[in-house]
Every structure is written in structure tokens, then in C-alpha cells.
């Protein structure tokens, strides 16, 4: 065969048909970047490098350095510029030491990384203390009458000294929570449970706020406590039913005591009214007796004066008046025999019909 000695005797044009080559000495190459095959990465990188050389003056190596430098400058500026919001204050640190001035709201610049900034919120913040979860003991307190209470309360505070708030206390929020919980335990432990359950919470909240503020001032934490509010007070879940039974018994006891006091007050008022009436009657009787005695004394004095002037006449008049009083109801008729009167008329019988008819 004339083409049998060419490159292994593939075909008449020297190509080996067994090597999957065509008749012009090369194989059936696949189309690059077209349909049916993956893109040529080397070609893409090559074209990108050509475009970068056209854009960046000084060649590819110098342009990369400029881009890296520009990126670093932008990143540095991004780290150096910070914004303080109206409800915030900033404390700049130079090599870890706080600077004297406090950053007010607005745009600020500092030399990063030699200087950094800490942002603090200065509006009223709320710290919630106490949990309703069974696995947490936060908020569980012992009252003065040996009852266990789950007290949920909130502490409202503001940061008045950002520098002290950031650097005088390691963890201000956790410290405030521990101090507030300790203060609430102290006050609850002094009082009966009813003070926390009923509408007597205001003194408790006031005392807790004073203790928390005093403690945080001693720590120089830069915090001003604005209010302490008790959100809820409840017994532990395990003894809630028994505690409610005790509360109902206490309420029944209180109701019965109030009813008894009301009845006692009613009876006491009535007794006091009767006593006042009796005292008034006694006073009136006293006045009447005294006046009668005064009248009798004056009458006796007048009779005595008359008796001293005419003893015989006065004695006879007194005798007659006395006998008149003694015998006015008597049915006897006394007649002087010396007068010579004939006892004809039945004077005793005359008075009977008149008395019986009357």
C-alpha cells in the first residue's frame, strides 16, 4: 500500500485513522468556547490581562499595585470615619486609653488602628430581671413571712458618664442586673408577701431604686437609675395551687374580720348613743331636782320669814294647809258638835256617786 508507511499507516494522507485523526494529520478537534464544551479559561485570563493593560498605565504589575493601594486607602478611610447617632455618645481610645473628649452626635474621624471608638447609648434603657422558666432561679425570692415569690421587675436607667460606664465596671449590664436583684431580695425579705401581691408595691420599688443607685454610684458606673417597676409577682409553679388556697383562706379571714369589726362598730355606736341619751336624761333629772330643791328652800325661807313676823297665824295656817292635804281624799266628815248642827244630810253618801261617775 502506498500510504502504509506513513505514521503507523493510518490513511492515504498520513493520518492514522486508528488514532482518531483526520485525513490531514490531525484529529477531529472539538470547538473551543462554543456549544457543546467548557470555556477556555486560559483564553479568558489572557483577554482580561490585555484589557487591564489598556486601562492601567504602566503595565499590568504597576496597575495591580495601585489598585491594592487604593483599596487599602479606602478600607483605612472606612475604618477611620464613624457616625454617632443622636441617642449615642462615642469614646475614642488611643492605644487603648480613653481620650478626654466625648464624641457628640455627627460624623467623626479618628486614626485607625492607633485609635478606636466605643459607642454608648445614652437614652433610657430597660433591664428586665426575673424569669418565668422553671429551670431558672432568677427572680425567686424569700419574703419576710417565709414565702417564696417569683418577682419579675424592670430597671430603667440612663448612661450619664459614657467613659465611666465603659471602663469602671467590667460588664455594666450584668453588674446592674446582679445589684438590682440583690436589692430586690433584700427589700422583699423585710416585708410580708402580701405587700408584693397587693397595691403596696410603690414603697418597695422606691427602696430598691435607692439601693441600686447608691451601689452603682459607689462603683462609679456612670449610670442614673430612673425607675424600678415590678411587672409581676407570683408563687413558684410547683406550689401555685397551694399558695392560691392559702391566699383565698387569708382573704376569707380578712373578710370575716372586717365583718366582725363592722358589727362591733355598729353595736358600739348604738351603745354610745344609748349612753349619751342616758347621760342627758340624768342631767335633766339632776337639773329638775336641783331646781325643785331650790324652790322648796326658797318657800321654806319665805314661810320662816312670815313665821317670824306672826308665829301663831302662820302656825295655824300651816296646820290647816297640812290637814287639808292629809284629809282631802278622806271620806270622813268631821262636825263640831258645839255648833249645834243636825247630822241630817248623808254627806258620806253624797260624794260616792260623784267619785264613781268620775
How does pLDDT run across 50-81, given as a tens digit for each residue?
Answer: 766 666 555 555 667 888 888 898 999 888 99
pLDDT category of residue 357 using cuts at 50, 70 and 90: very low
- Please identify, among 99, 119, 139, the residue that sits at the C-terminal boundary of a domain: 119
CB atoms within 10 A of CB 35: 5
Residue 137 sits in the same domain as residue 153 = yes
Predicted TM-score of the model (pTM) = 0.53
Shared domain for 229 and 142, answered yes or no, is yes
Number of H helices, E strands in the chain: 9, 9
- Is 204 within a domain? yes
Averaged pLDDT score across all residues of the chain: 80
Domain boundary among 71, 96, 119: 119
> Is 308 within the bounds of a domain?
no
Under the banding of pLDDT at 50, 70 and 90, the label for residue 175 is very high
Is residue 223 in a domain?
Answer: yes
CATH code: domain of residue 161 = 3.30.479.30
End-to-end CA distance of the chain: 190
Residues 80 and 171 in one domain: no
Distance in angstroms (rounded) separating the CA atoms of residues 139 and 200 = 19
Task: State yes or no: pLDDT of 24 exceeds 60.
Answer: no
Residues 265, 257: contact at Cβ < 8 Å?
A: no
Residue 315 within a domain: no
Q: What range does the domain containing 150 cover?
A: 123-233
pLDDT at 15: 39
Same domain, 131 and 227: yes
Residue 258, SS3 per DSSP: helix
Is 9 inside a domain boundary?
no
Do 104 and 135 lie in one domain? The reply is: no
Dist. CA 242–CA 171, nearest whole Å: 40
Choose among 206, 168, 171: nearest CA to 187.
206
83 CB-near residues (< 8 Å, 6+ apart): 106, 107, 108
Amino acid at each position: 500500500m502506498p500510504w502504509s508507511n506513513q505514521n503507523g499507516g493510518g490513511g492515504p494522507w498520513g493520518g492514522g485513522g486508528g488514532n482518531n485523526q483526520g485525513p490531514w494529520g490531525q484529529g477531529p478537534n472539538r470547538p473551543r468556547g462554543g456549544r457543546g464544551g467548557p470555556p477556555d479559561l486560559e483564553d479568558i485570563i489572557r483577554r482580561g490581562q490585555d484589557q487591564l493593560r489598556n486601562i492601567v498605565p504602566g503595565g499590568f504589575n504597576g496597575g495591580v499595585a495601585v489598585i491594592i493601594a487604593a483599596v487599602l486607602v479606602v478600607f483605612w478611610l472606612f475604618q477611620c470615619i464613624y457616625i454617632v447617632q443622636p441617642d449615642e455618645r462615642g469614646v475614642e481610645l488611643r492605644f487603648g486609653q480613653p481620650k478626654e473628649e466625648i464624641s457628640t452626635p455627627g460624623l467623626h474621624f479618628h486614626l485607625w488602628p492607633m485609635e478606636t471608638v466605643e459607642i454608648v447609648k445614652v437614652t433610657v434603657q430597660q433591664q428586665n430581671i426575673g424569669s418565668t422558666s422553671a429551670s431558672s432561679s432568677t427572680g425567686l425570692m424569700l419574703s419576710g413571712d417565709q414565702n417564696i415569690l417569683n418577682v419579675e421587675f424592670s430597671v430603667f436607667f440612663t448612661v450619664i458618664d459614657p467613659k465611666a460606664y465603659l471602663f469602671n465596671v467590667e460588664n455594666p449590664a450584668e453588674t446592674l442586673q446582679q445589684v438590682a436583684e440583690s436589692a430586690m431580695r433584700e427589700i422583699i425579705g423585710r416585708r410580708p408577701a402580701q405587700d408584693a401581691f397587693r397595691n403596696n408595691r410603690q414603697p418597695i420599688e422606691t427602696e430598691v431604686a435607692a439601693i441600686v443607685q447608691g451601689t452603682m454610684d459607689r462603683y462609679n458606673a456612670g449610670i442614673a437609675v430612673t425607675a424600678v417597676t415590678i411587672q409581676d409577682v407570683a408563687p413558684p409553679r410547683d406550689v401555685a395551687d397551694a399558695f392560691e388556697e392559702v391566699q383565698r383562706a387569708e382573704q376569707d379571714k380578712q373578710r370575716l374580720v372586717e365583718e366582725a369589726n363592722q358589727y362591733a362598730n355598729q353595736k358600739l355606736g348604738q351603745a354610745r348613743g344609748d349612753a349619751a341619751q342616758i347621760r342627758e336624761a340624768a342631767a335633766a333629772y339632776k337639773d329638775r331636782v336641783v331646781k325643785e330643791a331650790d324652790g322648796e328652800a326658797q318657800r321654806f325661807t319665805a314661810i320662816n320669814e312670815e313665821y317670824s313676823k306672826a308665829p301663831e297665824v302662820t302656825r295655824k295656817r300651816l296646820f290647816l294647809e297640812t290637814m287639808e292635804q292629809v284629809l282631802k281624799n278622806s271620806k270622813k266628815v268631821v262636825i263640831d258638835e258645839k255648833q249645834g248642827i243636825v247630822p241630817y244630810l248623808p254627806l258620806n253618801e253624797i260624794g260616792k256617786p260623784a267619785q264613781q261617775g268620775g
